[in-house]
Amino acid sequence: MQRGRVAGPSLASVDSAGLVARMEDNMSILEIIHLRSSCKPIEDLAKLIRESLWEDGRKDGVFAIYRRRGLATDLAVHIPHAEECAEVPSRFGLQLVSSLAEFGLVEHSVWEEIGCGPVDQQQGHAAIDDGESS
């Protein structure tokens, strides 16, 4: 085995059509807004974002705000959406991007989950349920 290379299934052995179908059945969506601030302290911006999320009706607390470790100017807001969410990017996300633009450089992206699960310690890759019982 070559150093630095992770052992795993070959691409030829992957049933891509079945894998895509299973991923689409269980997919969740994550909207990410990343701000590199040029002026206002990150903690103040995080407080403003939390207040905005509350006012927008996200009283359930389904969002997360991150500060980049080792870099005091970066902040990220993660807004998860269910797979059936038709409005992505969300109205709130677009409004937040517009509001944050005055504080620095803003990147807005939408991510789709393609898989998760326990890592197979022997193979060194994420174990993906193939839908068949052993």
Confidence of residue 82 (pLDDT cuts 50, 70, 90): confident
Whether residue 6 has pLDDT greater than 50: no
Q: Classify residue 105: in a domain, yes or no.
A: yes
Confidence of residue 101 (pLDDT cuts 50, 70, 90): very high
- Give CA separation, 88 vs 60, 78, 114, in Å: 19, 13, 17
79/63 Cα distance (integer angstroms) = 5
Percentage of the residues of the chain whose pLDDT score is greater than 90: 23
SS3 of residue 73 by DSSP:
coil
**Helix or strand run (H / E) with residue 42:** helix 42-55
Confidence of residue 9 (pLDDT cuts 50, 70, 90): very low
DSSP 26-86: T--EEEEEEEEESSS-HHHHHHHHHHHHHHTT-TT---EEEE-TT-TTEEEEEEEE-TT--
Whether residue 107 has pLDDT greater than 90: yes
Q: Provide the b/e sequence for 107-125 (b: ≥16 CB within 10 Å).
A: ebeeeeeeeeeeeeeeeee
pLDDT for position 23 = 45
The domain containing residue 40 runs over which residues? 28-111
Contact 31, 89 (CB under 8 A): yes
**CATH number of the CATH domain containing 73:** 3.30.70.100
More confident site: 119 or 128: 119
Q: Classify residue 73: in a domain, yes or no.
A: yes
Whether residue 33 has pLDDT greater than 90: yes
Entry pTM: 0.63
More confident site: 42 or 33: 33
Q: Classify residue 121: in a domain, yes or no.
A: no
134/122 Cα distance (integer angstroms) = 18
Mean pLDDT of 35-52: 85
Q: Classify residue 14: in a domain, yes or no.
A: no
What is the residue type of 27? M
Mean pLDDT of 52-60: 65
What is the residue type of 43? E
Confidence of residue 60 (pLDDT cuts 50, 70, 90): low
Number of domains in the chain: 1
